[in-house]
Amino acid sequence: MSASSCSSCCQPSSIGKKVVMALTGLVLAGFVLGHMSGNLLMFKGAPAINEYAKWLHDHAGLLWAARVVLILSVIAHIWVGIQLTLENRAARAGGPADEATRRATVASRTMPYSGVVILAFVVFHLLHYTFRTVALDGAVYGDDVYKMVVAGFSCRSVSIFYIISMLLLCLHLSHGVSSVFQTLGLRNERWRSRLDFVALAYGWIIALGFISIPLAVLTGCLK
């Protein structure tokens, strides 16, 4: 589904769905920015990231409010995303590809697939660092988030999985953010290329910020 290739998005019900995708997408894109910024405290050393994690856990009310908004956003984003994907496929079925479909970018055409990989990544990530049921080295880290993250990324295959998932997150975000601009009616002829650049830059900033951590562990910069 693309900001420029959605063949059924002129129907009123689809416009409502696009608004839901835009609003929930904004919540999720905001979360990854906040999470990535917090994670960069790894480069300030163990006390900085551990104090940050402790602060979050000490403010349980705030943490749970954010978790509820996140969970609801993820459910709505996936649910409505599936409906829009099916509607678009049905609208295109049988007929020749229209001009907009032919112009659709790789990012827009692969949105459902990058979305599925990101979801699988998040499930693994929660088991790995939040529920800690994927204890790859069998160790217990308690409040030492720094040590836990370094130990997690010392496993090369885990780091590679994270890096590939972050690149797909970049692809997903770059199209998703430009779709938000489209839904808000900002992506007109005059602003299209500038806003597409902003969306692409946002995707890369988030991905590279996250990727810097497993990369720093693999190269021995963080230990």
**Residues of this chain that bind ligand HEM (CB under 6 A):** 32, 35, 39, 53, 67, 118, 122, 125-126, 129-130, 145, 149, 162, 169, 210, 213-214
**CB of 191 vs ligand HEM, minimal distance in Å:** 28
Q: What's the angle, vertex CA 34, arms to CA 29 and CA 19, rounded to 5? A: 25
**CB of 44 vs ligand HEM, minimal distance in Å:** 14
Contact 196, 34 (CB under 8 A): no
Looking at the Cβ atoms of 202 and 210, the one nearer to ligand HEM is: 210
**CB of 9 vs ligand HEM, minimal distance in Å:** 25
**CB of 111 vs ligand HEM, minimal distance in Å:** 15
Looking at the Cβ atoms of 9 and 42, the one nearer to ligand HEM is: 42
> 3-state class of 176 per DSSP?
helix
CA distance 151 to 7: 47
Looking at the Cβ atoms of 84 and 145, the one nearer to ligand HEM is: 145
Identify the CA nearest to 148 among candidates 138, 157, 156.
Answer: 138
**CB of 158 vs ligand HEM, minimal distance in Å:** 10
Looking at the Cβ atoms of 67 and 103, the one nearer to ligand HEM is: 67
Looking at the Cβ atoms of 14 and 159, the one nearer to ligand HEM is: 159
Looking at the Cβ atoms of 56 and 91, the one nearer to ligand HEM is: 56
Contact 171, 111 (CB under 8 A): no
Angle between helix 156-183 and 145-153 (nearest 10): 100
The sign of the torsion formed by the CA atoms of 22, 79, 67, 155 equals negative
Could you tell me where the DSSP H helices lie in the chain? 12-39, 46-58, 60-92, 99-103, 106-109, 111-125, 145-153, 156-183, 192-218
Q: Which two tokens stand for residue 17?
A: 């769905």
Identify the CA nearest to 73 among candidates 127, 30, 126, 125.
Answer: 30
**CB of 39 vs ligand HEM, minimal distance in Å:** 5
Q: Which two tokens stand for residue 89?
A: 């496929």
